[in-house]
Structures are given as C-alpha cells and as structure tokens.
Amino acid sequence: MKTVLITGCSSGFGLETARYFLDRDWQVIATMRTPREDVLPRSARLRVLSLDVTDPASIRAAVDAAGPIDVLVNNAGIGMLNALEGTSMEIAREIFETNTLGTIAMTQAVLPQFRERKDGVVVNVTSSVTLRPLHLLSVYTASKAAVNAFTESLALELEPFNVRARLVLPGRAPETRFAENGRPRMAGGIHEAYAEIAQGVFARWADSSVVTHSLDVAEAVWRAANDPSCPLRIPAGADAVAWAAQV
C-alpha cells in the first residue's frame, strides 16, 4: 500500500486530494498548520499531522513522524490580490516564504529517501495564473512561477534516480476558501490608484462561469502521482485547460 503526504489539507484542494487518495486505498498523511481530525473521514489509513512549511523544525518533525512515503504533494499556499504599490515587502516575503520556499524546503526534506530508494514522486501545486499575465497578481504569480521553474529543473536533477517531479496548475476556484484566506494580506484594500482596474477584474470574474473545482485538482494530482507518462505540467479545471491550450 502506497503512502502520500499532502500539505495544506485543512480545506480546498488539499482536503479534496486527501479524500481522493483515501478513497483509492492509499495511506494518507494529511498535514495542516492547525490539525483537525473532523474534516476528513475516519480511517485506519489516515494520519493528520501538524505542519508549518515556513518552520524548519516543524518540517523536520512532520517528515520524521511520517516515515517512508511514496509521493509528496506540495499544496500548501497562501493568496493575495493587489497592485504592487499596495503590497508591502512584509507581505511579499510572507507569500514567498510559504508558496515558494515552503515548497522547496519540503521537497528538500523528503528527497533523500526518494533518491536512496530510487523511487518517488514530487507533485507541486501552483496556478494557471502563471500561464498569462494578469492584473493585481504580480507578487502572487511570481511566487508560483518560481515553483514552476524550480520543478522543471528539479525534474532533470532527479531523472537519474528514477524520481519524478510534476506540476499541477489549477484555475480559479471560487468554491474554496482561497479568497477568504487571502483577505488578511489585503486588509488595507486595493491601492486607490488601481481601483478602476480592480473593478474590471472583479466584473470579469462575475461574468465567468468557467472555473476550477477541487475535484479537478485532486484528479490531476492523482494522475501526476500514478502516471509516469503524464506531462510535467498538468492544468486542472476547465479554465486552466483552456488557458494552457492557448500558450
């Protein structure tokens, strides 16, 4: 029986992915900054661990507690929408610490066991916003685009050890708590000089019914974990698939 460790499982993509792997008889290690047993079905194949991907000691403790794993899914991330002028460097650093450096640190922590065993998969969940330039997402997109580049180079490094690295690129997912979780980093609101631009962005979102669902992402992660022939980048969700086709 294979084991997957998934970061950021308290809601959204991570929670749905944990359910998806559980339903398919995998051992699942679901990690959260604040562990909650009640969000997932009870199972002898499930463990919920505390993990803050920005804290080296927390990473060490979680990886040690997890033991041998077959797949790492780096899903934990935080969002933010604002013009660069409305983004403090403190917020920019927070975004990169979680989305970029957290992914790198988790990957670095599990690679020794994958390399020594000559088997394993790293699946990094980024975003379809990296496929095209968009208003008010410069810092967030940069944090995710960095993970794309990291993963592509990492995949080359790991080929001699039979270890795979893959990317899953979700689209906009209004059913998740992503926007809610990003609000604390937007406490000051959109910079006033960019208010008209923001109104246009929100209007386009309201007019669009083509979105990503958490199940789309779980299915893409499953494919990345189980199909060695799948492409390095896998768009997840109808909007993400459409964007990827235009690149």
For the annotated catalytic residues, the residue numbers are: 140
- Cα–Cα distance, 5 to 236 (Å, whole number): 20
In the chain the beta strands, taken as DSSP E runs, fall at: 3-6, 27-32, 46-50, 71-74, 120-125, 163-170, 233-236
Pick from 126, 142, 145, 146: nearest CA to 224 = 126
Backbone angles phi, psi at 235, to 5 degrees: -70, 145
Local structure of residue 131 (DSSP, 8 states)? G
Q: Are 92 and 139 in contact (CB under 8 A)?
A: yes
- Cα–Cα distance, 156 to 241 (Å, whole number): 25
Amino acid code (one letter) for 235: P
Task: Name, in order, each residue with C-beta under 8 angstroms of 161's C-beta and a sequence gap of 6 or more.
Answer: 114, 115, 118
